[in-house]
Amino acid sequence: MNFYGKLEAILRDKQIDFGPKPFKIFNVWLENKEVEKVIIQGWNKQVNGSRLDCKFRNKLKNIKESLREWSRHQYGTLDIELENAKNKACALEKKAEECNLSENEHEEWKKAREDWFQKEKEKGEMLKQKARLKWAIERDENSKFFHSSIKRRNNRGNIRGLFIDGVWQENPNAIKDEIFGYYKKVFEQTQNTEVNVDSLRDLNFNKLTEAEAATLEVEFSEGEIWEAIKNCEDSKAPGPDGFNMKFFKKFWWLIKDDLK
């Protein structure tokens, strides 16, 4: 491939499907009055497995399925509902400039404005969380700024293609196989590398006492776990499953008693 061919491949804007997007829970959902019922129903579904960790994993899977379906109905048309509320409020305000609104029209205007601001706030909170940015000024939802931040993050994290054996590949399966093979080779080389034990014997590492070492095997208490969760920032997630700390804080009462 010549220079211009490589340049065209790099600059081309092409959508590549790498599979389903990972689940992500939004803090806005947790403020909704209906979400508690949805989560409790998902948590109480029958699951397989006798081990507590497997049981916990399967219960979270059930909650994911329940939340996906609920959010699709609750927030799937958020942009349309926001635009409709905005247009209705603006139309009534324009009419009010020409004549007095009736009592019913005035109530409709108030309702439309409340819906407009509420849905705009919900959308802004989702965009802030997607962009993973902290915004100091409350209720300042700059949608264009957050959209551009999300786009920059996606562009940095996405792998559009790779040169594999001198050929530019954009097929997701080929890219995944190449990356997997590369890291597999790296880890195999690391495991086969012999460590010179003699070179480590003269190093003076700090050592734990027997009493300190024994504390490493002591089971965590419920209070210690809750204290660790409580001190974490709400939007942080402990793993790739998409459940953030705000979820665990809000529904700790549900989780802790069922997994004892």
pLDDT tens digits, 128-157: 777 665 544 444 555 666 666 666 666 666
pLDDT tens digits, 26-44: 888 998 989 999 999 999 9
Q: Taking a C-beta distance cutoff of 8 angstroms, is the pair 121, 141 a contact? A: yes
What is the pLDDT averaged over residues 57-75? 91
Upper half-sphere CA count for residue 4 (Cβ side, 13 Å): 0
Burial class (CB in 10 A: 0-12, 13-18, 19+), 35: buried
pLDDT tens digits, 172-226: 888 888 888 888 888 887 666 666 666 667 777 788 898 888 888 888 888 888 9
Which range, 10-24, 126-140, 223-237, is most confident?
223-237
Dihedral sign for Cα atoms in the order 253, 29, 138, 233: positive
Q: Taking a C-beta distance cutoff of 8 angstroms, is the pair 40, 75 a contact? A: no
- Whether pLDDT at 105 is above 60: yes
Q: From start to end of the chain, where are the E strands? A: 162-164, 167-169
